[in-house]
Amino acid sequence: MAFLIAILVGTGLLMLPVSRAEPGGAPLVTALFTATSAVCVTGLIVQDTPTYWSAFGQSVILALFQVGGFGIMTGATLLGLLVTRRLKLTRRLIAQAETKSLSLGDVAAVLRLIFLVTVAVELLTTAVLTLRLRYGYDYDWSDALWHALFHAVSAFNNAGFSTYSDSLIGFALDPLMLAPIMASVVIGGLGFPVLHELRQNMRHPARWSVHTKITLLGTAFLLIAALAATAAYEWNNPATLGAFDWTGKLLNAASHSVMARTAGFNSVNIGEMHVETLAVTYVLMFIGGGSAGTAGGIKVTTFFLLGFVVWAEIRGQPDSNAFRRRIGSHPQRQALAIVLLSVACVGAGVLILLSVTSFPLEDVMFEVISAFATVGLSTGITGGLPPTGQLVIIVLMFIGRVGTITIASALALQERNVLFRYPEERPIVG
Amino acid sequence: MAFLIAILVGTGLLMLPVSRAEPGGAPLVTALFTATSAVCVTGLIVQDTPTYWSAFGQSVILALFQVGGFGIMTGATLLGLLVTRRLKLTRRLIAQAETKSLSLGDVAAVLRLIFLVTVAVELLTTAVLTLRLRYGYDYDWSDALWHALFHAVSAFNNAGFSTYSDSLIGFALDPLMLAPIMASVVIGGLGFPVLHELRQNMRHPARWSVHTKITLLGTAFLLIAALAATAAYEWNNPATLGAFDWTGKLLNAASHSVMARTAGFNSVNIGEMHVETLAVTYVLMFIGGGSAGTAGGIKVTTFFLLGFVVWAEIRGQPDSNAFRRRIGSHPQRQALAIVLLSVACVGAGVLILLSVTSFPLEDVMFEVISAFATVGLSTGITGGLPPTGQLVIIVLMFIGRVGTITIASALALQERNVLFRYPEERPIVG
Ligand SMILES: [K+]
Ligand SMILES: [K+]
């Protein structure tokens, strides 16, 4: 609900003439699209951010994705806390009624911690970027600060909005610009539960929870695999990595591997990539980042959890284990439900968008996965979508952002008493 | 193993000069591709069946897909019997050793039944088609019989090979040709366990097993949904359904819905279909037909079983039920493993084929899913594949055919003793 209100307020503000660079207010669909994209920290745009919106409009967008990102982090963390707490309590057979609420102290503590982490990371990134823009590019201080702040907030919240028309393509060969943004993106994308545990137990990896271990190792694995695949497929593509020397190729392959998983900045032109790279990027975008963070997608834990389950099945082990812990049947079924419902959403989105536009399949698939997993990358078709197509993307962004978290928590929280069980029967599978 | 031998023998026979219509033998890759496609009852072709191969060559192909289809049906049925029997026995705590073998009597009975069903359906279809070709198209008797026999065997085994260069497009407006073939395809695609149960308990649907109920209702649902989707998307496409009147449109939409799930005949030109229809067809092909039949894909039961699991999760029910029977956790995990491994195979296939060719994504995806699910439809790129691409398709057909059955049975048969269990831990999902 809070999301809807933020989107509607944002739409109203963006429709004001003062938000737009040219005279006259933005049309409803454009404002709605931009506000939804900002609040859901997606980053897809139908109008170029720096030229279409005024400084006020850009500030509104900045505020929207900061509010959206903070809301997602706190909301998902609190729901997660409710879920895990509840689980512990029901195990101890404490009355159900007590477990459905969190104490005010818990809520305040979580809000404070998330606020502090957000401010700390964003300020640090802003400072580094400001210095770089001031001394590397001769911006004056206020310009440098504005661009740095916008990108720092956008990066930590994985929003992907940029004050440059070509996103980060202008900085493709500048590691001093890309590295702080990439670091900020990765930290924001890990999710608060992992950050919290890292802060408490940094020195004792053995004590980390399975959730943290899967998220960290899974993220590292995905980053390296994506870097290798991007480099391999694009190494000699003159429109993307081919133009750089080998350090530039590696830097930008790394940048794509970080950004494609949910951030949505780009330092190379996505529209010029080979279709093989796009296919790899579909998978990366669909998986997304860590739970209860600003990342989208089905989440790293969901993906690898199902991987552990399949691995156990192949090995013929009755239990599905990960890092010497058993994965219960309930999280398994939950992960399965999330993945299949997500596939269904993406499939329906692709089919509808194909019906109302005439773009090729690879671009439509890219756009739909990017919207659903709130990534924000595009092969360049967003601006050319008809209003119906824009509405489809708006709905996908909203479902992808709010739907997965809400459904996941709802699935985890609900529990019914078993009045009777049916006898088991074994259909032939496969 | 038997499959490999059949493929190698077939390859050898097809390389003989006598198999080819023109002078000289067929090259190795062409013969290997055709033999694999026939034994795996896929139906993809790199060379036009009636013009490239001699009557002898076509007979070899006919023999290969008859042997392949029969082998799949018996092999999968026996394995399925082993699995279900074993399950029942272990429940009754009978010694494990006894359960790993089937009695010779069982094997003989299964072989005899499958043989009878195959011969009965194929003879009936051949008779109907022969009469139609003789009196409707003025073929002489021997020609009519040959074409009828070839299509009858091809249809029941869901092989999709045709003695016409344009498959069934020449009969697009003739329900008397299409209907018997469609009926034969559907019966062959249900799978032997369902046919056996129907024969025994035709009058008492309440006694049917969950497997039979899911297969029959699922098949009906998929057929109707596919007919509706095809009709809706292609109604006005002048290159496909648009050329027909409304009975022709419905007939050919029905034909596509039947053939796309695994048979691989086509009465309209797949290459001219809208990309929306292709996208729907991806899903149909991937799901495929019934277990332990000549159909490919992940199978109807696997698909709907996961659907029931997701539905139970959404409703918050601790048990996953279907038709008043509980679905055990083992078949659930097995279905999950099959689907995810299949997705991984298809994904890898698409990526590799994209790398070695320059066809558009929608055609490559179609080709890969068609090969993996042994469907045999093509948008027309098979003949244009380079040898490496043909090898990729050969491997996909083989894995898709042999792999899913073998893996499914292996998964179901293996069982390990639990020496110790790890404590349960709950990662955050989604
Ligand atoms: K984003
Ligand atoms: K086939």
The domain limits of chain B are: 2-413
Q: Tell me: pLDDT of A35 over 70.
A: yes
Of residues A27 and B93, the one with the higher pLDDT is A27
Pairing of strands B325-327, B321-322: antiparallel
Note whether B301 contacts A350, CB cutoff 8 Å. no
Residue B378: which residues within 8 A CB-CB, separation 6 or more?
A: B44, B270, B271, B366, B367, B370
Sign of CA dihedral A315, A317, A322, A328: positive
Euclidean distance between CA atoms A236 and B95, whole angstroms: 62
- Of the candidates A106, A131, A121, the residue with the CA atom closest to the CA atom of residue A157: A121
Q: Tell me: pLDDT of A91 over 50.
A: no
3-class state of residue A183 by DSSP: helix
Residue B231: which residues within 8 A CB-CB, separation 6 or more?
A: B241, B249, B250, B253
Euclidean distance between CA atoms A356 and B21, whole angstroms: 48
State the count of interchain CB pairs (< 8 A) between A and B.
241
CA distance A91 to chain B (A): 12
Question: A127-147 burial, b for 16+ CB within 10 Å, e for fewer?
Answer: ebbbebbbeeeebeeeebbbb
Weakest mean pLDDT among A106-110, A255-259, B260-264: A106-110
3-class state of residue B53 by DSSP: strand
Backbone angles phi, psi at B201, to 5 degrees: -125, 35
Q: Which residue has the tokens 């407006």?
A: B173
Euclidean distance between CA atoms B233 and B278, whole angstroms: 10
Strands (E), A45-141: none
Q: Which chain B positions have a beta carbon within 8 Å of A416's beta carbon?
A: 315-318
Could you give the C-alpha distances from B419 to A145, A318, A319, B17, B93, in angstroms and in order? Answer: 61, 11, 11, 60, 19
Q: What is the rounded average pLDDT of the residues A378-386?
A: 87
Q: Which residues is B53 bridged to in the sheet?
A: B20
Query: Which of residues 366 through 425 in chain B touch A, CB cutoff 8 A?
Result: 404-405, 407-408, 411-412, 414-416, 418, 421-425
Q: Which two tokens stand for residue A176?
A: 């001093």
* Residue of A213, A401, A428 to mutate when probing chain B, most B C-beta within 10 A: A428
CA distance B210 to chain A (A): 6
Tell me which DSSP letter residue A38 carries.
H
User: How many Å lie between the centroid of ligand 2 and the Cα of residue B152?
Assistant: 13
Question: Residue B352 CA to chain centroid, in angstroms?
Answer: 23
3-class state of residue A288 by DSSP: coil
Amino acid at site B317: Q
Sign of CA dihedral A326, A330, A336, A342: negative
Q: Tell me: pLDDT of A267 over 70.
A: yes
Contact A288, A264 (CB under 8 A): no
Could you give the C-alpha distances from B162 to A188, B45, B117, B368, B381, in angstroms and in order? Answer: 57, 10, 22, 21, 18
Q: Which residues is A425 bridged to in the sheet?
A: B327
Contact status of A96 with chain B (Cβ, < 8 Å): no
Protein residues within 5 Å, CB atom, of ion ligand 2 = B 43, 158, 160, 264, 376
Query: Which of residues 317 through 336 in chain B touch A, CB cutoff 8 A?
Result: 317-322, 324-336
**Residue B327: in which H helix or E strand, if any?**
strand B325-327
Contact A215, A296 (CB under 8 A): no
CA distance B165 to chain A (A): 29
Backbone angles phi, psi at B289, to 5 degrees: -115, -150
Half-sphere CA count of A272, side-chain side, radius 13 A = 15
Query: Which of residues 131 through 170 in chain A touch B, CB cutoff 8 A?
Result: none
Contact A150, A122 (CB under 8 A): no
Could you give the C-alpha distances from B176 to A31, B156, B186, in angstroms and in order? Answer: 58, 17, 16
Q: What is the pLDDT of residues A188-234, one digit of tens each?
A: 888 888 888 887 777 888 778 888 888 999 999 999 999 999 998 88
Backbone angles phi, psi at A321, to 5 degrees: -115, 155
- Of the candidates A168, A93, A90, A156, the residue with the CA atom closest to the CA atom of residue A123: A156
Q: Which two tokens stand for residue B264?
A: 């691989």
Q: Torsion angle of alpha carbons B244, B248, B250, B256, nearest 10°? A: -90
Q: Tell me: pLDDT of A88 over 50.
A: no
- pLDDT per residue rounded down to tens, chain B (430 residues): 677 888 989 998 998 888 888 888 888 899 999 999 999 899 899 988 888 998 899 999 999 999 888 888 887 777 777 666 544 444 433 333 333 445 566 677 778 888 888 999 999 999 999 989 888 888 888 889 999 999 999 999 988 898 888 888 888 888 888 899 999 999 988 888 888 888 777 788 877 888 888 899 999 999 999 999 999 888 888 888 888 888 888 999 999 999 888 888 888 888 888 888 999 999 999 998 888 778 888 889 889 989 988 888 877 777 777 887 888 777 788 888 889 989 999 999 999 999 888 898 889 999 999 999 989 888 888 888 888 999 999 999 988 887 766 666 666 666 555 556 666 666 666 5
